[in-house]
């Protein structure tokens, strides 16, 4: 079986709207390595977009899932509930930042988590408006893509977006967008477009994912908390990509000294199995009436079993600390290339949620062509990379945090050689 043959079959059978980054068809995977159908090995610096933080097929995740399969695979929690759903909810209630009573619901995808967070916020406040940020990504459902601060490809061709959603510029000092200016736009929004007493929630990613791995400045997050409290607005932290040790903490909000009222999560929680969650203040989470929340597959027993195993692994293997160690090594290696790769404009990211931004040398102009060339050249050498950013000029690094030291060193060598080669050819 050849990748090219599968690519032709895929093109004939699957909607072109489902884009793919590579034409590498997986046959098996283990920890941070993937082998394709032709037997070629790749080092995975994508991790299914921050899903397998604990590595492909972690033995403890697989064992937990196999044990659950031996008991039952689906009852629908709203019909016949089960203990491990309750246990995982209890653990998240304890783990999510905030010294207050919390409650949790489980759904299946990150977009569902965001949708439900907005539903809960509206029910709890009896308000409808929501404020999000440019560059943010919150999913591909109608509310999710309305909240998302990027048009192409997420909103193109899909008609009118959901009403009562407003966007404020995300503060990115590198691009001349200061936190002070973002706050002034928010203030003007309250004066010109929407009464703050009509706003149910502010939703923000502590570190933007698709938007380019830009961190929310600490003082800005604290100011958002202050503004939310002033006007009775709920603060929603979208931790779908930042959660579960990726930033060196179980949740990125632990870096800020303030807490969100509602936290959405998915991706890394399931270690490769579909599960998502919303955790928040108990009184807020109880606002919808019975039956207002849920879903047939929400909190499927297989995903729940995986989620409990993932929390065990993060604690037992010290993955928060390891994320910081790996991220520092990666950033140091990239920093050593600045003089020989003039396209490097910025190196950033907390823990092991890191990125390098690439511009035309000596300018602030994004260099998407060079960025994609690096990605393609690295893939040819056996390293899977992802790009992101509203200009497509950012390479993000999302290797499993469990990656073996020798495999990580090999990946860094490939990355360095690739950047040097592409710079020399530019």
Catalogue the E-assigned strands of 66-174: 102-107, 129-133, 165-168
Distance, in Å, from the CA atom of 21 to the CA atom of 398, rounded to the nearest integer, reads 14
Which of 310, 271, 319 has the alpha carbon at shortest distance from 56? 271
- Which pLDDT score, from 0 to 100, does residue 389 have? 94
For the CA atoms of 216, 222, 227, 228, what is the dihedral angle to 10 degrees? 80
Which of 212, 139, 201, 137 has the alpha carbon at shortest distance from 165? 201
Tokens of 19: 């884009």
CA distances in angstroms from 34 to 153, 185, 399, listed in the order given: 28, 45, 12
Please identify every stretch of the chain with a pLDDT value under 50, giving residue numbers as ranges: none
The conformation of residue 235, written as its DSSP 8-state character, comes to E
Tokens of 223: 């100011």
List strands edge to edge, sheet with 386-388.
344-348, 354-358, 394-397, 386-388
The CATH number given to 3-54+318-425 is: 3.90.1150.10
- For the chain, residues classed under CATH 3.40.640.10 are 60-316
Distance, in Å, from the CA atom of 73 to the CA atom of 288, rounded to the nearest integer, reads 28
Angle at 227 between CA 225 and CA 233, to 5 degrees: 80
Separation of CA 301 from chain center: 23
- Find all residues with CB under 8 Å of 188, minimum gap 6, and list them: none
Print burial letters for 47-84: b (CB count within 10 Å at least 16), e (below 16).
bbbbbbbbbbebebbeebbeebeeeeeeeebeeeebeb
Q: What SS3 state is found at 136?
A: coil
- Find all residues with CB under 8 Å of 396, minimum gap 6, and list them: 209, 213, 353, 354, 355, 385, 386, 387, 388
Cis status of the peptide bond prior to 142, with omega within 30 of 0: no
- Cβ atoms 242, 251 nearer than 8 A: yes
Distance, in Å, from the CA atom of 205 to the CA atom of 55, rounded to the nearest integer, reads 23
Q: Report CA Rg, the chain.
A: 21
Q: Which helix (H) or strand (E) holds 229?
A: helix 218-231
Which one of 3.40.50.300, 3.40.640.10, 3.40.50.1220, 3.20.20.70 gives the CATH number of domain 60-316? 3.40.640.10
Distance, in Å, from the CA atom of 162 to the CA atom of 111, rounded to the nearest integer, reads 15
Q: pLDDT per residue over 27-57, tens digit each?
A: 999 999 999 999 999 999 999 999 999 999 9
Distance, in Å, from the CA atom of 193 to the CA atom of 174, rounded to the nearest integer, reads 28
- For the chain, residues classed under CATH 3.90.1150.10 are 3-54+318-425
Tokens of 270: 């399931």
Which of 218, 223, 219 has the alpha carbon at shortest distance from 233? 223
Half-sphere exposure of 195 (CA within 13 A, CB side): 4
């Amino acid at each position: 079986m050849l990748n090219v043959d599968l690519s032709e079959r895929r093109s004939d059978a699957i909607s072109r709207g489902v884009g793919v980054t590579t034409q590498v068809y997986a046959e098996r995977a283990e920890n941070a390595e993937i082998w394709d159908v032709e037997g070629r090995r790749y080092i995975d610096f994508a991790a299914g977009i921050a899903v397998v933080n604990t590595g492909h097929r972690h033995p403890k995740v697989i064992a937990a899932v196999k044990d659950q399969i031996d008991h039952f695979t689906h009852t629908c929690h709203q019909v016949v509930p089960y203990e491990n759903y309750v246990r995982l909810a209890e653990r998240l209630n304890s783990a999510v930042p905030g010294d207050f009573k919390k409650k949790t619901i489980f759904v299946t995808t990150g977009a569902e988590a965001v949708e439900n967070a907005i539903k809960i916020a509206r029910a709890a406040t009896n308000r409808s408006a929501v404020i999000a940020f440019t560059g943010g990504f919150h999913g591909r459902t109608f509310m999710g893509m309305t909240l998302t601060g990027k048009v192409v490809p997420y909103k193109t061709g899909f008609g009118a977006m959901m009403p009562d959603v407003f966007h404020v510029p995300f503060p990115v000092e590198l691009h001349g967008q200061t936190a002070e200016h973002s706050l002034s736009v928010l203030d003007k929004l309250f004066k010109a477009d929407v009464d703050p007493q009509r706003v149910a929630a502010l939703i923000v990613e502590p570190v933007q994912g698709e938007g380019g791995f830009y961190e929310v400045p600490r003082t800005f997050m604290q100011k958002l908390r202050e503004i939310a409290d002033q006007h009775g607005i709920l603060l929603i932290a979208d931790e779908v990509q930042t959660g579960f040790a990726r930033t060196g903490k179980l949740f990125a909000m632990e870096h800020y000294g303030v807490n969100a009222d509602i936290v959405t999560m998915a991706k890394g929680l399931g270690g490769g199995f579909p599960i998502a969650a919303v955790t928040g203040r108990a009184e807020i989470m109880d606002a919808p009436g019975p039956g207002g929340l849920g879903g047939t597959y929400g909190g499927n027993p297989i995903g729940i079993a995986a989620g409990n195993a993932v929390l065990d692994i993060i604690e037992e293997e010290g993955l928060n600390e390891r994320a910081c160690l790996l991220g520092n090594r990666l950033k140091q290696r990239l920093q050593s290339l600045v003089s020989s790769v003039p396209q490097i404009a910025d190196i950033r990211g907390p823990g092991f949620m890191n990125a390098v931004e690439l511009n035309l040398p000596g300018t602030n102009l994004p260099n998407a062509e060079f960025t994609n060339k690096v990605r393609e050249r690295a893939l040819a050498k056996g390293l899977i990379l992802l790009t992101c950013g509203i200009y497509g000029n950012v390479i993000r690094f999302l290797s499993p945090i469990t990656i073996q030291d020798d495999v990580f060193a090999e990946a860094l060598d490939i990355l360095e050689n690739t950047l040097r080669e592409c710079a020399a050819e530019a």
